[in-house]
Amino acid sequence: MKPQREVFHLPSYTTTSGRALKDVRVGYETYGTLNAARDNAILICHYFTGNAHAAGRYEDSDPLPGWWDGIIGPGKALDTDRYFVICTDVLCCIRMFDGHAVTTGPSTINPETGKPYGLDFPIPSISDFVHVQKALLDHLGIERLVAVAGPSSGSMQAIQWAVEYPHMVPRVLAGLKAHPYSRCIVECWAAPIQVDAAWKNGAYDPKEQPMTGLIETIRLTFVTAVSHAFVAKAYGDAWADPQRDPLASLDNEYRAHASIGTIASVGAVQCDANHFLYMVRACNAYDVTARIGEAKAKFLFLPAESDILFLPFMSEEAVAQIRAAGGRAELVTLKGSGGHLDGLNVIAQARQPIVDFLNSN
Amino acid sequence: MKPQREVFHLPSYTTTSGRALKDVRVGYETYGTLNAARDNAILICHYFTGNAHAAGRYEDSDPLPGWWDGIIGPGKALDTDRYFVICTDVLCCIRMFDGHAVTTGPSTINPETGKPYGLDFPIPSISDFVHVQKALLDHLGIERLVAVAGPSSGSMQAIQWAVEYPHMVPRVLAGLKAHPYSRCIVECWAAPIQVDAAWKNGAYDPKEQPMTGLIETIRLTFVTAVSHAFVAKAYGDAWADPQRDPLASLDNEYRAHASIGTIASVGAVQCDANHFLYMVRACNAYDVTARIGEAKAKFLFLPAESDILFLPFMSEEAVAQIRAAGGRAELVTLKGSGGHLDGLNVIAQARQPIVDFLNSN
């Protein structure tokens, strides 16, 4: 399956913080066909370091498909023979340099100055992500969705959707609830970027990223998104180079740390450092607690049992809060030992519960 | 109870990596009195960012006593009316600038050059910590201990003691076993120091620490050493300043992150950055798996149930490994929601099991 990639252009957009931005652009991908009644759309919201490439391959030779390809496609849980699946790059999308994503954020040229916004760009809220997605759906003539779904911080957007546009969202597929501790870890992710002198207090040239800090930030992010079992099984106690004892020099590494560093190095060249910092704040400010009763949707939470970043008990609390507010919520736990990333990697496990959920009223 | 603080001087010491060092000095504290038979000593090994100040107060006005004061003192589990308790600053002790600790490491002046060793100092192993402690016990005429005990990386030293000097160590009180994932987290702690340009690849003047990175390193260390419940209860979702929304500026913080940052800032001025990096490697290289059968000691493991850095299952694995090797090991789980730091903060809970363990054969 080949994604359709487009760019959505908003001549102006005013953030929830009150800043009017001109020429806001975000990319989006679609899978399947919008029907004549325009009532078969499912909106997918991408995760923290993800972008709109949720499924399919641009070219047959792509080594990996999009990140939720396990459930998006012909005959899959989100069956593209039946549904029109749409996913947007969000504002301040971190993974903006993968050659496909399009976003607007600190590294965008400010049309008024001809230079990158830098830290003058307003920090978006999860609501801002949702408002831009809503403008796109308006543009496409979609007045009601089948569901909104997303893993990790995509969950935050999906739940925010149900609260802000209750009559458009009958169903939400989510993975998590925010927690003060998870927020604290997410703030810590950002530290290496800000410690790196090349960050220049946010005023770096986007072509000259604070790469040392950015790599360490992404390494730490990855470590907290996997699990004890994953690291033990994938890397064990080994040294990166059997000839180079980590006790002999700080330059000699353990295989686990080095290999995850390689993953981070490959990822970092696709990412923007300021966008990372902005995404940290957008996600950490997410809080629908007071408004959850406004949602009309029914919710299906899909926490991963070995997630150590957003633990299953947090989703259980979300289910309890929604029920206490008079809403409907169910929970299916993803089995596996891979940690937070199981929300991407083993999601196809939940095929039947997802199909049943989409078919239910 | 007032600690006795002394400095132990070794004219020369050769590390396990084969480097001969001159004029090695480490501080040590003692509580209680060594008896005439010199057979009532308990050796305490300090944790990662700790130093030898395990109990008591230097001055009555000290706001806090030493870190294991809950179990060390007259009438306490390690009863100083009965036992002679001794704790040394280890080589490369991180908390070396608290006005009391004495250590030898990268920030020590190399007597051959008149300048700090910097990264020319050999990275010590946990065995090196133990060998220096052994030299001190030899100096004091102590040929056999009642027990060796330590929390966190102090556990590593205690277990190493039992393996290297089996006939001196009848009992070990420990808290953890190493794990590839914990090692990976501990490596990540170090990143902000190394990203900080003021680190100067280790060649900074010890009076000009890479403080920005060091603070972030200690903040991350602290975050992983507490728990979900601790952060939620102590700080909740609050902003550091109710007038300053974290969504309005990267400079505005959440209370949890800011408050832990304050704790880190206070701690950082007592610490040395290179010593932190060396301690990371010393601890991460610890591995007694192949030698555990050499120990003659019986072991009491005291994991904290809410520890998310060294989880209780790791101690359970250690108990199983010791038993499989023909040894004796027991486990008592510390109850509490405070995370890894419960190994310090609620240790007095284990008073009776510790007393029984010390009285048993």
Q: What is the ipTM of this complex?
A: 0.95
Q: Give B-chain residues touching A125 at CB under 8 angstroms.
A: 247
Interface contact A187-B254, CB threshold 8 A: yes
Sign of CA dihedral A303, A309, A311, A317: negative
Q: How many other CB atoms are there within 10 angstroms of residue B315's CB atom?
A: 25
Would the pLDDT of A64 be above 80? yes
Phi, psi of A334 (to 5 degrees): -75, 125
A259: which chain B residues are within 8 Å (Cβ-Cβ)? none
Looking at the complex, does the CB of residue B317 fall below 8 Å from at least one CB of chain A? no
Q: Do the Cβ atoms of B285 and A248 come within 8 Å?
A: no
CB contact under 8 A, B247 and A282: yes
Q: How far is CA B116 from CA A81, B107, B119, B202, in A?
A: 69, 5, 9, 10
- A159 with A259, same domain: the answer is no
Determine whether B306 is an active site residue.
no
Say if residue B255 is in the same domain as residue B307.
no
Domain boundary, last residue among A226, A247, A278: A278
From the list A271, A256, A240, the residue with the least C-alpha distance to A107 is A271
Is B257 within 8 Å of A192 when comparing Cβ atoms? Answer: no
> What separation, in Å, do the N-terminal and C-terminal C-alpha atoms of chain A show?
29
Q: Does A254 touch chain B (CB under 8 A)?
A: yes
CA A61 from chain center: how many Å?
25
> Phi then psi for B329, rounded to 5 degrees?
-150, 140
| CA atoms of A17 and B84, how far apart (whole Å) | 63
SS3 call for A148: strand
Of B230, B231, B247, the CB nearest to A285: B247
Backbone phi, psi, residue B161, to 5°: -55, -45
Write down how long chain A is. 361
Say if CB A188 and CB A247 are below 8 A apart.
no
Over residues B82-98, the pLDDT tens digits come to 999 999 999 999 999 99
Tens digit of each residue's pLDDT (9 = 90 or more) over A180-211: 999 999 999 999 999 999 999 999 999 999 99
How many Cα atoms within 13 Å fall on the side-chain side of residue A317? 10
Q: Identify the pLDDT of residue B243.
A: 97
Per-residue pLDDT, A176: 76
Write down the pLDDT at residue B83: 98
**Cβ–Cβ < 8 Å for B103, B93:** yes
Comparing CA positions, the residue from B35, B54, B9, B26 lying closest to residue B144 is B35
- The reply to whether B247 and B266 lie within a common domain is yes
Q: Which amino acid is at B303?
A: P
Taking CA–CA distances from B283, the nearest residue in chain A reads A247
* Residue of chain A whose alpha carbon sits nearest to that of B231: A181
Closest CA to B307 of B332, B354, B343, B351: B343
Question: Is B231 within 8 Å of A260 when comparing Cβ atoms?
Answer: no
Which residue, among B4, B86, B84, has the nearest Cα to B38 in the 3D structure? Answer: B84
A-chain CB neighbours of B202 within 8 Å are 250
Question: Known catalytic residue: B152?
Answer: yes
Q: Do B254 and A184 touch (CB under 8 A)?
A: yes
Is the CB of residue A263 less than 8 Å away from at least one CB of chain B?
no
Query: Which residue in chain B has the smallest CA separation from A124?
Result: B247
Tokens read off for B133 = 């402690």
The pLDDT of residue A274 is: 98
**CA–CA distance, A336 with A349 (Å, rounded to integer):** 10
Residue labelled with tokens 């340099």 = A97
Known catalytic residues of A are: 152, 307, 340
Return the number of other C-beta atoms located less than 10 Å from residue B185's C-beta.
21
Task: Say if residue A71's pLDDT is above 80.
Answer: yes
B19 reaches A (C-beta below 8 A): no
Most B-contacting residue of A160, A217, A227, A250 (CB-CB within 10 A), to test interface: A250
Averaged pLDDT of chain A = 97
- Could you tell me which residues are beta bridge partners of residue A298? A171, A328
* pLDDT tens digits along A108-150: 999 999 999 999 999 999 999 999 999 999 999 999 999 999 9
Size of the A and B interface in Cβ pairs below 8 Å: 146
- Alpha carbon distance A126, A209 (integer Å): 25
Of A253, A278, A303, which one is at a domain's C-terminal end? A278
- pLDDT score of A177 more than 80: no
Q: Is B281 on the interface with A (CB under 8 A)?
A: yes
The band of A283, judged by pLDDT with boundaries at 50, 70 and 90, is very high
Q: Are residues B297 and B235 in the same domain?
A: no
Would you state the pLDDT for residue A175? 81
- Judged by a CB distance cut-off of 8 A, whether residue A192 touches chain B is yes
The active-site residue out of B127, B152, B182, B227 is: B152
Query: Is B179 close to A257, i.e. CB distance below 8 A?
Result: no
A114 dihedral zone (left: phi>0; alpha: psi -120 to 50; beta):
left
> Two tokens at B194?
């190394």
Q: Is the Cβ of B266 closer than 8 Å to some Cβ of chain A?
A: no
Residue B40, amino acid: N
Entry pTM: 0.96
| Other CB atoms within 10 A of residue B29 CB | 27
Same domain, A102 and A242: no
Q: Are residues A293 and A266 in the same domain?
A: no
- Cβ separation A254–B183 shorter than 8 A: yes
For residue A21, is pLDDT > 90? yes
CA dihedral in degrees (A171, A173, A178, A183; nearest 10)?
Answer: -140
Q: Quote the tokens at residue A261.
A: 């560093």
Task: Quote the number of domains for chain B.
Answer: 2
Q: Examine the domain organization and report whether B192 and B331 are in the same domain.
A: no
The reported pLDDT for the residue numbered B178 is 85
Neighbours of A269 (CB within 10 A): 12
Residues of A numbered 86-125 whose beta carbons fall under 8 angstroms of chain B's beta carbons: which are they?
A: 119, 123, 125
Instruction: Find, in chain A, the residue whose alpha carbon is nearest to that of B236.
Output: A180
A178: confidence class by pLDDT, cuts 50, 70, 90: confident
Q: Which residue of A has its CA nearest to B339?
A: A181
Task: Identify the pLDDT of residue A85.
Answer: 98
What is the nearest CA distance from A64 to chain B, expressed in angstroms?
A: 26
Instruction: Sheet containing A298-301: give its strands across.
Output: A4-14, A20-31, A84-88, A41-45, A147-149, A171-174, A298-301, A328-331
- Span A73-79, average pLDDT: 98
Tell if the CB–CB gap between A123 and B247 is shorter than 8 Å.
Answer: yes
Dig out the tokens for A44 from the structure: 């997918």
Rounded to whole angstroms, the Cα distance separating B351 from B343 reads 13
Q: Which residues contact B37 (CB under 8 A, 6 or more apart)?
A: none
Is A235–B180 a contact, with Cβ atoms under 8 angstroms apart?
yes
Q: Do A285 and B246 touch (CB under 8 A)?
A: yes
Confidence class for position A307, pLDDT limits 50, 70, 90: very high
* Dihedral sign from CA coordinates of A68, A70, A71, A75: positive
8 Å CB contact of A187 and B253: yes
Within 8 A of B179 by CB-CB distance, chain A residues are: 228, 232
B61 catalytic? Reply is no
* Chain B residues near residue A311 by CB distance under 8 angstroms: 228
**Does A17 lie at the interface with B, CB-CB under 8 angstroms?**
yes
- pLDDT on residue B316: 95
Chain centroid offset of residue A208 CA: 24
* CATH number of the structural domain spanning residue A167: 3.40.50.1820
Given B218, B244, B278, the domain boundary residue is B278
Mark the ranges of chain B whose per-residue pLDDT is less than 50. none
DSSP state of B329: E
Question: B54: domain range?
Answer: 4-178+285-359
CA–CA min distance B345, chain A (Å): 19
Instruction: Kindly state whether B273 is in contact with chain A, defined as any CB-CB distance less than 8 angstroms.
Output: no
Same domain, B251 and B127: no
Residue B247 near chain A (CB below 8 Å): yes
Contact A247 B185 (CB under 8 A): no
Per-state percent for chain B, helix, strand, coil, to nearest 5: 40, 15, 45
What proportion of chain A, given as a percentage, has pLDDT over 70? 100
- Per-residue tokens: B74: 């007259």
- The answer to whether A248 faces chain B, any CB pair under 8 Å, is yes
Task: Please check whether residues B245 and B96 belong to one and the same domain.
Answer: no
Q: Is B99 found in the same domain as B52?
A: yes
Are B164 and B70 members of one domain?
A: yes
Q: Note whether A299 and A337 are same-domain residues.
A: yes
For residue B227, the domain's CATH number is: 1.10.1740.110
